[in-house]
Structure 1
Amino acid sequence: MKKLLLLFIAAVFTGSVNAQSKFEQDRKAIEALAGFYKVTFNYAETFAPDTAYKFHPRYNSWGYEWAVIAEDSPKKIVIQHLLVVGDSTVIKHWREDWVYEDQTLLSFDHDNTWKKVKLSVADLKGKWIQRVYQVDDSPRYESIGTWVHVDGRHQWQSETDSPLPRREFTKRSDYNVLRRGNRIYLTKDGWMFEQDNKKIVRSASGDKLLAQEKGYEEFTKADESKFAYAEQWWKQQKNYWDDVRLVWDAVYASNPVVKIAGKKDGKVLFEHLFDLGDQSVKEKWDSVKNKVEVRKVIDSYLISNS
């Protein structure tokens, strides 16, 4: 009996150690996404059910991007991406929050509308939600998946709906939902964001596939010296954008549905928030002032669902 008890305790202990080891591997893989990179973007449409469909030209581009960890706690890692153009221009780019076993997911519907979804505990076991935000920290898409560490590979994948990508948002109106098949994996020189996407026409009668595409966004480690201005810029702007995140957190917490308007006074939301960021730095606003002004702007773009 004593022997059986010792074996049981050993098994429980070993399982606990292995689970902890897996969790730490997950965290290290996510933290490895941060760094200084040259990024190449390559997309091509590959299939369409309608034989009369004309494939759009391939998309190829590149740039320099600094992915900086803005928040790091045991079950949440926030990575802010900053696009670097030349020696003196920085654009606050997309943001990704990695949250472990969180039950709330903001699901994209269509027409700039996201709906809050509650996940079951069973569906969350050992999984991470990747929450991706627009340049102004408004929602983009969220998806859930399991990090896998095997044969020296570290990979995470998921599928979710999202708005049109920025590369097509102002150029196309023949579809309104991008169903993303996301796969992220580490490489010896950085990491790869591989995509198998479906361009969907969503209407009251259901979803219709317009075309499929393949995408590769490759992040290759770059010389840190290229990002000196970006580091200086972020040091000045970081407190303001920390406050913007807190305001958005309050918005998400109090709204089961988030719907965002297009232009107001000739400007889209990110233009107003970027202007506020510059004003905050110039006039040395404190956190209270930041939150009040940011909330005014965000509220003016929220569309009531009542």
Structure 2
Amino acid sequence: MNFKQLLAGAVLGLGVTTAFAQKSVKQDREAIKDMCGCFEVTFKYTETFAPEIDYEKHYDYNATALEWAELIKDEKDELSIQHLLVINDSTIIKHWRQDWLYENTKRYDFNHDNEWTFVEMPKKEVKGQWTQNVYQVDDSPRYSGSATWFHADGKHVWDDVASSPLPRREYSKRSDYNVMMRGNQVAITEDGWVHEQDNEKVIREDGKEDVLLVQEKGYNIYKKVPDAKCKAAKEWWAASKEFWAKVRTKWDEVYGRDKDLSLEKKVEGQALFMKLFPMDVTTSQDKIDEVIEAYVKKG
């Protein structure tokens, strides 16, 4: 085989690889967008294994909800989905947010006690991967992980392990552990999607190895229903989105400092969401910036 034939083969191979990568990214984006819409959600959690025989397992957790997930950013390498809870068809509560970033190199890993460590990953390590950043109801950080979407045999799955604060269902009820290692699997289904979890509730102290308290299995099952059931949420977001865009703008500035981050749990006896939620939608950017900055202890 002469040089021209070798070169032609290399170019052809590069073309096939590029086309495959483009197809994969398109499938990734479609899978992420499939998490948008109106869903009836079932939350199920059960503690499974504890290394200490005298550990008393907590009761299983089961709950249901109606949730609207709106695509608020749709760019080539970044997608953002805002979740809203619908209570009694008319009361809306701003819920969590998830951002998806393609081949992203910067993220924040939860450490413990309202502290997050800034992590910069090598480009080769995140090639083909999507980072999922999950945020609290006030758009402060929650957890983050980076992994590859897999599409095969009709399945669309993303799987990662991330360190996170206690879940909301236990945050105010328990103090026997301070970190949850979340085994997160996102799987797109025919009628929605499933967030399957293999979690470890651990005790973390600086300079020591994590101590496992108990393992937990979880299923958050999102079943798609007609968008009309979430009409109130769509209308609420249309009226509120400019305010929350200002909130995200401030947080983007904080995250963009690329430093370890430590946040106050309360200021003047109130958590951040307690100050943001009652604010008028016309509140100025300066005022929002001032309120959020008061909670940034380090960063």
**TM-score band, normalised by shorter chain:** over 0.9
Describe the superposition over 1:191-231 as per-residue Cα deviations: whole angstroms up to 9, x where unpaired: 00000000000113321000000000000001222211111
- Unmatched runs of 5 consecutive residues or more in structure 2: none
* Structure-to-structure mapping, 1:62-101, within 5 angstroms: 62-101=64-103
Aligned residue among 184, 202, 214 for 1:211: 214
**Which of 219, 223, 228 is residue 225 of structure 1 equivalent to?**
228
Aligned 8 A contact 2:102 2:131 in 1: yes
2:238 pairs, out of 229, 235, 238, with: 235
- In structure 2, the partner of 1:136 is 138
Q: Percent identity?
A: 44
What stretches of structure 1 of length at least 5 have no aligned partner? none
SS in 2 for 1:264: coil
Corresponding residue for 1:249?
A: 252
Q: CA offsets, 1:50-75, max 9 Å, x none?
A: 00000000000010001100001000
Q: CA–CA distance in 2 between the matches of 1:298 and 1:4?
A: 59
How many angstroms apart in 2 are the aligned matches of 1:231 and 1:25?
Answer: 26
Secondary structure, counterpart of 1:244 in structure 2:
helix
* CA displacement, residues 28-56 of structure 1 (integer Å, 9 cap, x when unaligned): 11111111100000000000000000000
Within-5 A mapping of 1:30-69? 30-69=32-71
Give the TM-score normalised by the residue count of structure 2.
0.96
Q: Quick check: 2:151–2:157 contact (8 Å CA) kept in 1?
A: yes
1:190 and 2:192 equivalent? Answer: yes
- Of the three residues 272, 280, 299, the one matched with 2:275 is 272
Matched with 1:302 is 296
Q: Is residue 2:121 matched to residue 1:127? A: no
3-state SS of paired residue (2:274): helix
Q: Which runs of 4+ in 1 moved over 6 A?
A: none
**Structure 1 residue 151, shift from structure 2 partner:** 0.6
Q: In structure 1, what is the equivalent of residue 265 of structure 2? A: 262
1:108-162 per-position Cα deviation (integer Å, ceiling 9, x unaligned)? 0000000101101121110010000000000000001110001110000000100
Cα 1:255–1:4, aligned 2, differ >3 Å: closer, same or farther? closer
Partners of 1:248 and 1:91 in 2: CA distance:
20
One-letter code of the match for 2:163?
D
User: Helix, strand or coil: the match of 1:135?
Assistant: coil
Give the structure 2 partner of residue 28 of structure 1. Answer: 30
Distance 1:91 1:202 in 2: 32
Letter paired with 2:273: F
Instruction: Report the RMSD for the aligned CA atoms in angstroms.
Output: 1.2
Matched residue count: 296
Aligned residue among 176, 180, 184 for 2:178: 176
In 2: Cα distance, 1:225 partner to 1:75 partner: 30
How many angstroms apart in 1 are the aligned matches of 2:38 and 2:14?
41
Deviation of the 1:255 alpha carbon: 5.1
Letter aligned with residue 182 of structure 1: N
In 2, the alpha carbon distance for the partners of 1:184 and 1:42 equals 15
